Amino acid sequence: NMQHSSSSSSMTAEEATRGVAVEKYEAVKKWGLNTYKCTKQMISERFGRGSRTVDLELEAQIEVLRDTKRKYVNVLRLAKALTNHFYNMVQTQHALGDTFADLSQKSPELRDEFGYNAETQKLLCKNGETLLGAINFFVSSINTLVNKTMEDTLWTIRMYENARLEFDAYRSDLEELSLGPRDAVTMARIEAAQEQYQVHKEKYERLRSDVIIKLKFLEENKVKVMHKQLLLFHNAISAYFAGNQQQLEETLKQFNIKLRPPGADKPSWLEEQ
């Protein structure tokens, strides 16, 4: 009985292993066939021999999004450059203020002159740090919009474009088979091709619908985010260069931006970039 049980267990394990191998083989075979059909369709389209499904309105919206992302990436690059340059200026003002303060103590004949220059630099430094907090918030929000929100929609678009290629590949395959002879073997192949065509058509239409919805919500979100961020950027920059410290601080309160307290152990926002 023990020998019989051991033999049965070995056969069961062997069958399971064989089943997994067959399943993997079928998956690879299906992937290879799908890749072949899509490659054939892509080459056919590229050389103008094959037809492709075109949604002119949707493709125009997709191109607008890609162009918008390129422009926003440039805004993000320039805003980061501004942040770095301005950070260096604030650090220089801080060092200059300390130097003026030290010279005020050591130069009795110029104590007042060095003193009020030290105070001016310290005030500029404080306002500069406040402005940096506003610009950093602007950069962070644009970065999220570009590299997360827009990229998520573009990922769905890439899935949709792949589904479109697959759909056209199986559509072309079905059309070619339909033009051939109508014997039993061909009819079976046509039936199988019809099933695959329907599967890929449903996938294409589902992803097309997803893209339309995501483009709509992305546009609404983009307008909402940019309205807030451009207002913040304008108010903060205007208040700083007008020397209006109160308005600058009010701008940060309006947008719920909190600065890192002096001497905190947490790394500065610039070090976190």
**Residue 259 pLDDT:** 74
232 by DSSP, 3-state: which?
Answer: helix
In degrees, rounded to 5, the angle at the alpha carbon of residue 67 between the alpha carbons of residues 155 and 227 is 90
Residues of the chain whose pLDDT is less than 70?
1-31, 33, 41, 45, 47-48, 50, 260-273
Residue 10 lies in a domain: no
Whichever domain contains 226, its CATH number is 1.20.1270.60
Residue 207 lies in a domain: yes
Residue 39 lies in a domain: no
**Residue 188 pLDDT:** 85
d(CA 95, CA 90) in angstroms, rounded, equals 9
- Find the Cα–Cα–Cα–Cα dihedral 38, 40, 42, 43, rounded to 10°: 160
**Residue 22 pLDDT:** 59
Q: Are 232 and 134 in contact (CB under 8 A)?
A: yes
pLDDT 10s digits, 76-93: 999 999 999 999 999 999
- Domain span at residue 215 reads 77-253
Residue 233 lies in a domain: yes
pLDDT 10s digits, 195-217: 999 999 999 999 999 999 999 99
Residue 163 lies in a domain: yes
Residue 107 lies in a domain: yes
Instruction: Record the pTM.
Output: 0.77
Residue 36 lies in a domain: no
**Residue 198 pLDDT:** 93
Q: Are 132 and 86 in contact (CB under 8 A)?
A: yes
Cα–Cα distances in angstroms (integers) from residue 53 to residues 155, 209, 210, in the given order:
20, 15, 17
- How many domains, the chain? 1
**Residue 235 pLDDT:** 95
Cα–Cα distances in angstroms (integers) from residue 4 to residues 15, 25, 44, 134, 210, in the given order:
16, 31, 59, 78, 57
| Residue in 172, 197, 162, 176 with CA at minimum distance from that of residue 44 | 172
**Residue 182 pLDDT:** 74
Residue 242 lies in a domain: yes
